Amino acid sequence: MATPHDALTEVPHLLLRRPVRDIASGTEGTLMAVLVENTSSAGFPERWAEIAYIRPDGGGVELSTAVANVEAL
């Protein structure tokens, strides 16, 4: 499968730069970006998904999660 034309580029999202929570981990922070990424392991068929990046409150390393796991605070 060919790489999607918008792979690894930012996808518009209503909650960008706003306070959010990752419902999978409970992490609260700011939604910094949503990117289209290949989430499959090496040797397996490609699987493209929108991945959200949340910067925790107080700073630190951004958490990645499925965009469906992001909710507004």
Domain layout of the chain by residue ranges: 19-72
Average pLDDT over residues 53-66: 94
Do residues 69 and 23 make contact, with C-beta atoms less than 8 angstroms apart?
yes
Model pTM score = 0.83
Q: Which residues of 32-68 are buried (b: 16+ CB within 10 A; e: fewer)?
A: ebbbbebeeeeeeeeeeeebbbbbeeeeeebbebebe
pLDDT at residue 6, rounded to an integer: 57
pLDDT at residue 7, rounded to an integer: 60
The better pLDDT of the pair 54, 1 is held by 54
Q: Dump pLDDT digits (tens) for 1-40.
A: 455 555 667 889 999 999 999 999 999 999 999 998 888 7
3-state secondary structure of 61: coil
